[in-house]
Each structure stands twice: as C-alpha cells, then as structure tokens.
Structure 1
Amino acid sequence: MSIVKKRLFWPSLILVVMLGINVFTSNQFLTIQDGHLFGTLIDILRGSAPLVLVSVGMTLVIATGGIDLSVGAVMAISGAVACLLIQDLGNQNSVASVLLIIGIAIAVALVLGLWNGTLVAVVGIQPIIATLILMVAGRGLAQLVTDGQIINVQSGPYSTLASGFFLSLPVAFLIAVAAVVLTILLTRRTALGLLLESVGGSPTASRLAGISARRITVMVYVVAGGFAGLAGLIYSADIKSADSISAGNLIELDAILAVVIGGTALIGGRFSIIGTVLGAVIIQTLRITVVALDIPDKANLLFKAVVVVALCLSQSPEFRAKVFGRFKRRPAVEKVAA
C-alpha cells in the first residue's frame, strides 16, 4: 500500500506543516532553560495532555458503539473536589495529603463513569441520553461543590501536575504518555482490544460468542471517567483553581473530533489509540498556530472547521479516488482500422 493511502498520512502531514509554521513564527520553538525544555513545542505537548486523556477514554467508549458527552462535567467535578479538599488543608504543600486528595478526586470520577456505564449497559438507556444526563447534572453538581464560586489554591505539589517538569519534560505530558502507553499495552498486547472491537462491531454476535458485552461496556465508561477526572485535575492545577463553569467546557466535542481524525469508526468496532493521540495534538497545535498567524478571534472557529473538513476529506478513499482519479492519465484509445 502506498504511504499516501495510509489512514494517518494526511493528519501527520498537516501536523508537520503546522509545526513548521510555528518554527518560523514563534520566537522560541524549542529551547532549554534552567535544565528544562521550553518553547512552543513544549506548550503544545503540555496543553494537549488533558485532551489526549479525554480522547483516549472517548476512543474506548466509541469502540464499543457508545458515546460519552459527560467528560467535560466529570473534569469540572474532579477539579472542584480536589480544590475544595486542598483548600481545607492546614498545609497545602503536604505531598502526602495532596496525593490522597488526588486519589479521592479520581475515585469520584471513576464512580461517575460507573454511573454512566450502569445506565447504558444495565438499565439500557441510549449512550447519548445516559451521558447527556450527567453532562447537565454534573455541571450543576460541580457548582454545588464549589458553591458557585471559583476556589483558588496555592499548593505547590498540586500545581506540579500541570506546570512541573520531570527529566526536562512536562509532568502533564508524561502523565498523558503513561496513560496512552498503558492503554495500548492493554488493548493491543492482550485480547481486550479484540473484545472491544467485537462488542462495538456486533454486540449480538459477541454475546452469542460468550463475551460479556455488559461488563466490557461498563468498564470502558469507568476508564473514560477516570481519564476525564485526571484531565480535570491537570486543568485545575494549571489555573490553580476550580472553575466549575469553564473546566472541560465543550471538550467532549474536541475529543470526538480527535477520535474521528484518528480514524476510529463512530459506529463502533475499529479504533486507533495512536490516531486519536495524533488528532488531539493536531487540535492543540491548530489553536497555537491560529494565534501565531494573528488570525482574529472571530475567525478562529471557522479556520478550525476548514482544517478539520480538509482532514476528514483527505482520509476518505472515495473522495481521493474522485478528485485525484481525474488527474490520472487515461490510456490512449487505439484506433481501429475501418
């Protein structure tokens, strides 16, 4: 197969082009300061971490034929719970206490994912409706936790999640990498990936084959909730506060978009974790590139839509065949002697 026809070739090419633009438009694309890597590239990697986490969880859910619209609300709830508990600490710089609070916040997110999975797999509610319930109610729950206020924290260990460095790389980026690697190992080095695709491709056939589709469905929603909760912690650690209104606002749409760019089928079945990560990084790079090109704020969403449409069309074999097929040289028709 030609490399041009590979599913991730065009997204990769567009990402390279946007990174190239940033090389020439940014003052510091990649530099070293105080032993750490800094620059536009590091900003892209660090900024894409929450979206990568949410998108990977979304990929697993979509692979089973579902959808999760509540990831943004789960982000808001986890950040609100963490900041509320940290604010009540006598010493906000206590590493052990902050780690315990992080664990509690992630546990809350896992419970919320379990709620979604139960509604979908056990009660039988359509995924889009089941997660829409938490999308609406969860945002209100986050505001109840914070009493409608923005809770500010000054915790060094907590802010490390977003602004810290380890081995010269951002901690947020390393957390996202660890989550991606673990997901790939579990889905591609074990039978789990095949089970996910079986449940998403044909739930009835998988059930007849003895696969516990209900258990797998609940599991992917729990994982998606956990990843969204972790993303919410990174977001709140970045702004050093819990903003229940802005945290994770509309991130579910970007996550679905990243999944589509990565080549995962929205009807379930085939999925690509690497493709999803590529899609999430493209979305974050696009945001920074738009700023670097001094494109007006009013045109940002339009510019983003144009790039996304171009990406989706470039991945369509039918579109490529219709467009590029016209430019292929047609064989000369031999004249038949009368």
Structure 2
Amino acid sequence: MAHRLFWPVAMLAVLLLINLIAFPGFFSVQIRDGHLFGSLIDILRNGSPTLMIAIGMTLVIATRGIDLSVGAICAISGAVACSIILGSSDPGNPGTVAVAVIAAIAISLVLGVWNGFLVSVLGIQPIIATLILMTAGRGVAMLITEGQILTVNSPPFKVLGSGFFAGLPVSVLIAAALFLFAVVLTRRTALGLMIEAVGINPEASRLAGVRSRGLLISVYVFTAFCAAIAGLVLTSNQTAADANNTGLFIELDAILAVVIGGTSLAGGRYSLFGTLIGALVIQTLVTTVYTVGIPPIATMVFKAAVVTAVCLLQSPRTTELIDSWHRRAQLRRTLEASA
C-alpha cells in the first residue's frame, strides 16, 4: 500500500468496476472489418493524446519545471498541417500529408526551443515562460487559420486520428511507440539519472558536470514534439483545425496524469509508468461520467475529486500512517509467535 503506484492502480480498478456494474458489456471487445471495437479500445484511443503530452510533461516536471503551452502547441501544429494540406492541389496525396506533418513538427520544435531558452538561458520561471506561449500560441494558430475552422478532407491525414493498423487504432500505436521511446531513452541510458539530478539540485548537478542548460532545452523540445504529435492526432480525428478548441485544457489533464502517477511537482524522481496509469485514470473517469449518466459539465468536478483523493492517499502523512500500521502489525505478530 505504501508503493506510489498502489493507489492510482486501485483508483483505476474502482473506475473500471463502476463501469462494469453500470454497463455489463463494458469489457467486451468486438472485431469489425478486422478492427477492434469496444469501450476499452475507446478509452485507449481517446486517452492517447493526453498520454502523449503527459510523457513529455513528466520529464519537464522531473526537472522542477512545468509546461503550460502544450495545448497551444497542439493548436498550432494542427493549424499548420491543415493549412498546408488545404493549400495543396492534391490534399489526398500522402506526400502532401507527409510535408504537412513534418512542417507542423518542425515549427513545434522551434517553439520548444523557445520555451527552453526562456527557462534555461534567461532564467525565467517555467510557469511564466510557458504561460507566454500559452497565451500567444492560440493567437498564432488563429493567424495561421485566419480565424476560420479549416475542414480537411484527406484520407491519409485522417488515418492519424481515426485509422487502424493491425486491428488497433493508429493513435494508440503512436502513443505506445512514444511511450516506449521515452522509457528506453530515460531508463536505459544515463539521461534519466541526469534529469532527476537536475530536478533535485540544479547547482549540485552543474558542479558534477551535468550540462543542465542543454538538458533543459532538450526536455522542453521533446515536450513540444509530444504536443505536436498529439495536436496532429486531435486535428485528424476532428478532420478540422480549430484554433480555439484543439487541445484546450489538455495541459491540465496531462499535469493531473503526472501527479496521479506519483511524480512530484517539486522535481526529482519520476515514473513514466505512473504517468501511463494516470492518463488511463483520467480518460476512464471521463468515460465513467458518460456511462453512469452524469452530466458532462460535471466532469471537471469529478476529476478534481479523484485527483484530490489520490493525492491525499499518496501524501507523506498517509504513507507514514500506513508504515506505522505495518510496523505495529508486524510487532503484534512477533509477540504472538513468541508467546
């Protein structure tokens, strides 16, 4: 019970049980035209953009930072891609879609460099540095779309958000690939240790030879990359670029997923697997709201309640009480055995 992933997993199990009780066929998965369909598949598909952004957010928070601009980067990424596709003579050409995707990612990486520059070079607080782009980013997206909702009819582009491969949604496969890449990069190399070192004590890590400035820029660039991919998936799923609504408040869901997963906002140790569980909790909670018939406008209230409950259960005081209970129980068993 003292493990930091115990309560998030327990909360996920409770939410799944509630859905099973309200809808007995909740766990059923069907195959239609070679594709998998069902409530569990919907949770994975709809939660993929949040997970993508939460992966990058985990690394940013581990460095004692935060990125509030990911939602705006999502909107910019989708706006750039749709503008290029609509401006071409053949929107259905895979080459055109490839150029649009590459351009959207490239511009997003530049925005990530901008965030990293403000934080690591100019020394601006991360919440302020990223708030600048969060505020201006949607305005930039509006300029790109000229204030219009750009509807795209491009089958190759639509595959990103609603396509299937090997029976699974493409968005789920993209999120899984991004997750595995982050795990291998940070847990199979020294990069993860350096990120934790910078988050725990930036000055000590600098004296130890860690180039914290370049590391911070790299982390914000990777987060922008994750946001760009998520923005392309969201825009593809909507088949339109909506500068006002694409990725709106997704940065809050990503932060909630990271916090639920046990990563401390004070920086240092982090858990990508915990973030995965947190993203599933967030999306399952949204699904539960619809399944049990609760008005959708109350979703934010239930998110807050779940996050509050998990954070209280994960708090140092709760962990201390659980450890104390275990010690007393062990002592009691020892006394009973000796008697």
TM-score when normalising by structure 1: 0.93
Question: Is 1:157 aligned to residue 156 of structure 2?
Answer: yes
Question: Is 1:90 aligned to residue 89 of structure 2?
Answer: yes
**2:306 corresponds to:** 307
Cα distance, 1:84 vs structure 2: 0.8
Matches within 5 A, 1:20-169: 20-26=17-23, 27=25, 29-169=28-168
List per-residue Cα deviations over 1:51-86 (Å, max 9, x = no partner).
Answer: 001111111111111111100000000000001111
List per-residue Cα deviations over 1:30-67 (Å, max 9, x = no partner).
Answer: 21111111011111000011100111111111111111
Classify the secondary structure of the residue corresponding to 2:130.
helix
Listed as ranges, the gaps of 5+ residues in structure 2 are 333-339
Question: Is 1:265 aligned to residue 246 of structure 2?
Answer: no
Cα distance, 1:321 vs structure 2: 4.4
Q: Distance in 2 between matches of 1:184 and 1:320?
A: 27
Cα distance, 1:139 vs structure 2: 1.0
CA root-mean-square deviation: 1.8
Cα distance, 1:320 vs structure 2: 4.9
Q: Distance in 2 between matches of 1:204 and 1:273?
A: 25
**2:174 corresponds to:** 175
**In structure 2, what residue type is equivalent to 1:126?**
Q
Matches within 5 A, 1:204-283: 204-283=203-282
8 Å CA contact 1:22, 1:40 repeated in 2: no
Cα distance, 1:24 vs structure 2: 4.1
Classify the secondary structure of the residue corresponding to 2:36.
strand
Worse overlay, 76-85 or 11-20: 11-20
**1:202 corresponds to:** 201
Matches within 5 A, 1:312-327: 312-322=311-321
**1:288 corresponds to:** 287
Cα distance, 1:323 vs structure 2: 7.8
Q: Distance in 1 between matches of 2:297 and 2:242?
A: 24
Cα distance, 1:297 vs structure 2: 3.0
**1:5 corresponds to:** 2
Q: Distance in 1 between matches of 2:22 and 2:33?
A: 24
**1:334 corresponds to:** none
Cα distance, 1:22 vs structure 2: 2.5
Cα distance, 1:10 vs structure 2: 1.5
Q: Distance in 2 between matches of 1:24 and 1:97?
A: 47
**2:336 corresponds to:** none
Percent identity for Structure 1 against Structure 2:
53
**In structure 1, what residue type is equivalent to 2:108?**
A
Q: Distance in 2 between matches of 1:86 and 1:147?
A: 15
Classify the secondary structure of the residue corresponding to 2:288.
helix
List per-residue Cα deviations over 1:74-122 (Å, max 9, x = no partner).
Answer: 0000000001111112221111221121011011111100010011111
Matches within 5 A, 1:187-198: 187-198=186-197
8 Å CA contact 2:105, 2:225 repeated in 1: yes
List per-residue Cα deviations over 1:124-173 (Å, max 9, x = no partner).
Answer: 11111110100001110001111111000011111100111111111000
**1:336 corresponds to:** none
Q: Distance in 1 between matches of 2:32 and 2:105?
A: 33
**In structure 2, what residue type is equivalent to 1:192?**
L
**1:335 corresponds to:** none
Worse overlay, 163-172 or 14-23: 14-23
Classify the secondary structure of the residue corresponding to 1:271.
coil
Q: Distance in 2 between matches of 1:320 and 1:193?
A: 25
Q: Distance in 2 between matches of 1:176 and 1:158?
A: 17
Cα distance, 1:326 vs structure 2: 7.8
Classify the secondary structure of the residue corresponding to 1:5.
coil
Q: Distance in 1 between matches of 2:208 and 2:49?
A: 37
Listed as ranges, the gaps of 5+ residues in structure 1 are 332-338
**1:17 corresponds to:** 14
Q: Distance in 2 between matches of 1:120 and 1:316?
A: 29
Q: Distance in 1 between matches of 2:64 and 2:309?
A: 25
Cα distance, 1:301 vs structure 2: 2.1
